[in-house]
């Protein structure tokens, strides 16, 4: 049985009762944790979420008996953050760089190992009250930083932090991950005489179809990578037997398309991107996803990161929006917690890393941010709940019985409780009860197709197809990961790639 795990009652009460604490500006670094994260990238109390930073302050004091104040600041790009660390020697205790920037920070000796002699003890202390079975482990298992992570993801992480799979020091702990692909408005695509099939190939973005209806991302790395995946698509197809067998040879070329720029690949990207321009509606930095959501522009599709697709689809304002990852391949991006060289409070940083990987907090952040936590079971459960909304009612009924009659009683009467939940669910569906909105994403689609919907994993109703697509946007399935590569630092070739992109945009 799988049941929704929500913020534990004990933690909720602790937060509710928290007394505000006022701080003087004293400079004791053991009582301050400086976190430098990307913007809008942690649950902050809005939309009924937990304010994770405040929750950490409470939890840390409970755990260690010492007060802590989090100084939380945000950056816009990896490059801005890198400059702060490398040139200004900022004393942040935690930063959240992307994969290729972790590599660059490591190359330039700007990170401390996370698993120093104290880390295992701190992690164990953080997880001492956690239930191993909630993480998909056996009851007698110890919860470690390695055995709760998604193993397909950690194999990719090996490209910039080999300690995860090969042992030894680790310099990063994944926080969120996803892919890049196409976001499209299905209704607009069909009105234009196109089809969903067109969205399964990068050709749609780079050739003359849908002229004047396409957004391209104003991001040098993503433009370079996607242009070269398109440019080398015949060769990628040959190696993968027509995109049916994503083998090592295919993956090697895919990685070369995105990484290791040379004169030839810079030229191929430049030609591809220049010829693409005449087919575009616009280059965009962030507004494209909103435009697609509002339907205010002529655009019908665009290049997006999965987290942005997950965000706009999850807003439920436009239920014609779909996300797809083209068959030729994608990038898996990973954002990670790292401890920079000039950190002033490594211990608190290690506690924070442990805390954000505990079940409830990882769940809160995944739900709020709209992309995948690396904690395997949390992401699996979250995905399950979206595709099986009735399970949320089951959970509620079960918890209510525990509260009223105790755990033993609830366990004994499990089947009855679940049957009652199912009967009440059927009634809610029958009467189109407004309360359904609390459980079901994309309710409009649900109501249209609910007559045939079985609320089972293999249900083929419209709503389930849409919910599965949404889950794929917020949590990359194996079928996306198997045709992906991680980006690496361009090193001394970076300037050439940036100049190429400047020429493209000026052309
Ligand atoms: Zn269904």
Our count of domains for the chain comes to: 3
Binned at pLDDT 50, 70 and 90, residue 503 comes out as very high
Dihedral of alpha carbons 192, 194, 200, 204, sign: negative
Examine the domain organization and report whether 115 and 44 are in the same domain: yes
54 C-alpha to ligand 1 centroid (Å): 39
Residue 479 domain-assigned (yes or no): no
Integer Cα distance of 292 and 299 in angstroms: 7
Residue 244 domain-assigned (yes or no): yes
3-state secondary structure of 264: helix
455 C-alpha to ligand 1 centroid (Å): 5
Examine the domain organization and report whether 117 and 72 are in the same domain: yes
452 C-alpha to ligand 1 centroid (Å): 7
Binned at pLDDT 50, 70 and 90, residue 104 comes out as very high
Residue 77 domain-assigned (yes or no): yes
Q: Does residue 235 contact residue 280 with C-beta atoms inside 8 Å?
A: no
Examine the domain organization and report whether 167 and 203 are in the same domain: no
195 C-alpha to ligand 1 centroid (Å): 23
Q: Tokens standing for 40?
A: 């809008």
Look at residues 431, 218, 207, 185 and name the one whose alpha carbon lies nearest to residue 309.
185
Q: Does residue 179 contact residue 330 with C-beta atoms inside 8 Å?
A: yes
Q: Tokens standing for 306?
A: 């999965």
444 C-alpha to ligand 1 centroid (Å): 13
Beta strand pairing status for 111-112 and 339-340? antiparallel
Residue 40 domain-assigned (yes or no): yes
The residue out of 343, 358, 381 marking a domain boundary is: 381
How much is the pLDDT for 4? 30
pLDDT one-digit tens code per residue, 453-467: 877 777 889 999 999
473 C-alpha to ligand 1 centroid (Å): 19
Examine the domain organization and report whether 13 and 101 are in the same domain: yes
The residue out of 381, 411, 440 marking a domain boundary is: 381
Q: Does residue 330 contact residue 177 with C-beta atoms inside 8 Å?
A: no
Q: Tokens standing for 217?
A: 């991302």
* Residue 323, domain CATH: 3.40.190.10
Dihedral of alpha carbons 357, 358, 363, 368, sign: negative
418 C-alpha to ligand 1 centroid (Å): 19
Nearest-5° angle of CA 45, CA 50, CA 52? 95
User: Would you report the helix, strand and coil content of the chain in percent, each value rounded to 5?
Assistant: 50, 15, 35
Summarize the confidence of residues 298-315 as an average pLDDT.
94
Indicate the DSSP class of residue 375: B
Examine the domain organization and report whether 109 and 16 are in the same domain: yes
Q: Does residue 293 contact residue 321 with C-beta atoms inside 8 Å?
A: yes
385 C-alpha to ligand 1 centroid (Å): 13
The Cβ of residue 358 has, within 10 Å, a number of other Cβ atoms equal to 22
Examine the domain organization and report whether 125 and 136 are in the same domain: yes
Examine the domain organization and report whether 116 and 251 are in the same domain: no
Residue 265 domain-assigned (yes or no): yes
151 C-alpha to ligand 1 centroid (Å): 30
451 C-alpha to ligand 1 centroid (Å): 9
Binned at pLDDT 50, 70 and 90, residue 95 comes out as very high
326 C-alpha to ligand 1 centroid (Å): 25
305 C-alpha to ligand 1 centroid (Å): 27
Examine the domain organization and report whether 285 and 389 are in the same domain: no
289 C-alpha to ligand 1 centroid (Å): 27
Q: How many angstroms separate the Cα of 330 from the Cα of each of 200, 225, 285, 485?
A: 11, 9, 19, 7
How much is the pLDDT for 21? 43
Integer Cα distance of 459 and 428 in angstroms: 19
Residue 108 domain-assigned (yes or no): yes
More confident residue, 460 or 85: 85
Residue 16 domain-assigned (yes or no): yes
- What is the extent of the structural domain holding 26? 9-177+333-381
480 C-alpha to ligand 1 centroid (Å): 23
How much is the pLDDT for 27? 62
215 C-alpha to ligand 1 centroid (Å): 32
pLDDT one-digit tens code per residue, 213-247: 999 999 999 999 999 999 999 999 999 999 999 99
Listed in sequence order, the residues at least 6 apart from 449 whose beta carbon sits closer than 8 Å to its beta carbon are 461, 462, 463
Beta strand pairing status for 180-185 and 301-305? antiparallel
Examine the domain organization and report whether 316 and 356 are in the same domain: no
Examine the domain organization and report whether 397 and 490 are in the same domain: no
Q: Does residue 418 contact residue 397 with C-beta atoms inside 8 Å?
A: yes
466 C-alpha to ligand 1 centroid (Å): 10
Examine the domain organization and report whether 169 and 184 are in the same domain: no
Q: Does residue 88 contact residue 69 with C-beta atoms inside 8 Å?
A: no
Residue 364 has pLDDT above 50, yes or no: yes
Integer Cα distance of 320 and 441 in angstroms: 14
Residue 264 domain-assigned (yes or no): yes
Look at residues 398, 400, 384, 397 and name the one whose alpha carbon lies nearest to residue 468.
384
Examine the domain organization and report whether 108 and 93 are in the same domain: yes
Indicate the DSSP class of residue 279: G
* Mean pLDDT of the chain, nearest integer: 92
Residue 449 has pLDDT above 70, yes or no: yes
Integer Cα distance of 379 and 388 in angstroms: 14
Instruction: Please state the pTM of the whole predicted model.
Output: 0.92
The residue out of 319, 347, 381 marking a domain boundary is: 381
Residue 140 has pLDDT above 90, yes or no: yes
Environment of ion ligand 1 (residues, CB < 5 A)? 453, 459, 461, 464
């Amino acid at each position: 049985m799988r049941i929704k795990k929500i913020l534990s009652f004990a933690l909720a009460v602790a937060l509710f009762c928290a007394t505000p604490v006022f701080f003087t500006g004293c400079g004791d670094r053991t009582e301050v944790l400086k976190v430098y994260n990307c913007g809008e990238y942690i649950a902050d109390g809005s939309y009924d979420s937990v304010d994770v930073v405040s929750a950490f302050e409470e939890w840390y004091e409970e755990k260690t008996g010492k007060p802590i104040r989090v100084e939380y600041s945000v950056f816009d790009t990896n490059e801005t953050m890198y400059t702060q660390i490398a040139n200004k020697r900022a004393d942040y205790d935690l930063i959240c760089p992307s994969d290729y920037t972790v590599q660059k920070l490591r190359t330039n000796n700007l990170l401390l190992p996370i698993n120093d002699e104290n880390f295992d003890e701190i992690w164990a202390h953080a997880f001492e009250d956690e239930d191993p079975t909630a993480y998909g482990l056996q009851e007698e298992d110890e919860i470690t930083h390695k055995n709760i992570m998604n193993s397909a993801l950690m194999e990719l992480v090996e490209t910039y932090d080999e300690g995860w799979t090969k042992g030894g020091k680790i310099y990063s702990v994944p926080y969120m991950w996803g892919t890049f692909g196409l976001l499209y408005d299905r209704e607009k695509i069909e009105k234009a005489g196109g089809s969903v099939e067109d969205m399964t190939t990068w050709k749609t973005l780079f050739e003359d179809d849908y002229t004047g209806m396409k957004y391209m991302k104003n991001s040098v790395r993503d433009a370079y990578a996607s242009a070269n995946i398109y440019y080398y698509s015949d060769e990628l197809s040959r190696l993968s037997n027509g995109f049916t067998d994503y083998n090592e040879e295919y993956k090697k070329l895919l990685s070369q398309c995105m990484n290791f720029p040379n004169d030839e690949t810079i030229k191929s990207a430049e030609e591809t991107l220049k010829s693409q321009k005449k087919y575009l509606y616009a280059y965009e930095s962030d507004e494209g996803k909103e435009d697609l959501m509002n339907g205010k522009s002529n655009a019908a599709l665009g290049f997006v990161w999965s987290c942005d697709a997950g965000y706009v689809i999850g807003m439920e304002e436009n239920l014609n929006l779909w996300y797809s990852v083209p068959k030729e391949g994608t990038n898996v991006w990973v954002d990670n917690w790292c401890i920079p060289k000039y950190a002033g409070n490594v211990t608190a940083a290690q506690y924070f890393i442990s805390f954000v990987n505990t079940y409830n907090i990882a769940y809160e952040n995944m739900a709020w941010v709209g992309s995948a936590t690396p904690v395997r079971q949390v992401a699996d459960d979250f995905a399950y709940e979206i595709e099986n909304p009735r399970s949320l009612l089951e959970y509620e009924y079960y918890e209510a019985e525990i509260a009223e009659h105790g755990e033993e009683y609830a366990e004994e009467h499990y089947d009855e409780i679940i049957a009652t939940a199912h009967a009440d669910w059927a009634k809610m569906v029958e009467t189109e009860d407004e309360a359904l909105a609390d459980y079901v994403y994309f309710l409009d689609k649900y109501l249209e197709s609910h007559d045939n919907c079985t609320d089972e994993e293999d249900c083929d109703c419209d709503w389930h197809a849409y919910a599965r697509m949404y889950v794929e946007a917020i949590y990359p399935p194996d079928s996306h990961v198997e045709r992906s590569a991680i980006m690496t630092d361009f090193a001394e070739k970076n300037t050439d790639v940036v100049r190429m992109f400047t020429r493209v945009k000026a052309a």
